[in-house]
A and B are shown apart, each in its own frame.
Chain A
Amino acid sequence: MITRITHTSVYVLNQDSAYDFYVNKLGFKVHTDVPMGKDARWLTVTPPEQPELEITLFLIIEGSMFDKETVQTMTSLIRKGTFGAAVFTCKDLLATYEELKSKGVVFKKPPTKEFYGYEALFLDDSGNWFSLAQINS
């Protein structure tokens, strides 16, 4: 029986910029940050109130995992905003929206009423989009 999720990945185009976005703009906490080789590092962050879930900021880089063609294809798709990576929740969407906007976060959709509460969509610095929701209690 599967019980929990501990790691999930978001593919990013630049880890320094992703660090700035997820830590300084979204307010996530760095869990692990280890240099691995010349150009990459193992970088995971956690949502502020969910320290047990590590989100790996996974660099798209040519090497054992991705060949050159895959890197080009994935980079292009991520930049185009093809991938929706996750749904985040917050206690107060309007306040979070105003705060993130003031920090330069780009929203694809402003807070909108849905049957389950409110939802907005924002982009990370690479082009991945996320839902940000306030769920009715």
Chain B
Amino acid sequence: MEQYEKIYLYKRIVSAKLFIDKFYADSIDLDDIADQANFSKFHFIRLFKSIYSLTPKNYLIHLRIEKAKELLREGHSVLATGLMVGLESPTSFAGMFKKITGQSPSHFQKSETTRKNEMNKYPLRFIPNCFAETHGWKE
């Protein structure tokens, strides 16, 4: 019986995490998620952190920054990227981005664009030679 209760508990926490994964770009109220999962806010935060090593709030911030990295790589502007991941204030977006990645969004985008251009121009520089030779890939 204890095992079933544990599985039920896990399903609720995982579904809360998947909810954040799906709606990270919206204005998510973590109190609502805790309510929906039938937990007190304190209990929810404690369980979530024990599984994912981050509080739900910090998990949401990290997820938004990861998604922002993808959007910046795709060439979206810094301003648009912040909005697309649910961070409306450009200043707070840039601040969070730098705090987590160690570089500003524009600096990150510039270095990723340089890498992408180089990858397209000189693909074999990114492939160990043994594999390229085996495939018959040449410059």
Contacts and interface: CB of A to CB of B under 8 A. Distances in A.
Contact of A94 (B7, B18, B131, B134): B7
Interface string A24-55: 00000000101111001010000000000000
Most chain A beta-carbon neighbours within 10 Å: one of B15, B18, B137: B137
A7 B137 contact: no
Interface in B9-40: 10-11, 13-15, 17-18
B11 A98 contact: yes
A64 interface: yes
Secondary structure type dominating chain B contacts: helix
A56 B131 contact: yes
Given A34-B119, A91-B51, A42 B127 contact: yes
B137 A98 contact: no
B99 interface: no
A106 B75 CA distance: 35
B123 A34 contact: yes
B10 A95 contact: yes
Most chain A beta-carbon neighbours within 10 Å: one of B13, B18, B123, B135: B135
Interface string B96-139: 00000000000000000000000110010011100100111100
30 contacts: A7-B128, A32-B119, A32-B127, A34-B119, A34-B120, A34-B126, A34-B127, A35-B123, A36-B123, A36-B135, A36-B137, A37-B137, A40-B135, A42-B123, A42-B131, A64-B135, A65-B134, A91-B52, A92-B50, A94-B7, A94-B10, A95-B10, A95-B13, A95-B14, A95-B52, A98-B10, A99-B14, A99-B17, A99-B18, A102-B18
Interface of A: 7, 32, 34-37, 40, 42, 56, 63-65, 91-92, 94-95, 98-99, 102
Interface of B: 6-7, 10-11, 13-15, 17-18, 50-53, 119-120, 123, 126-128, 131, 134-137
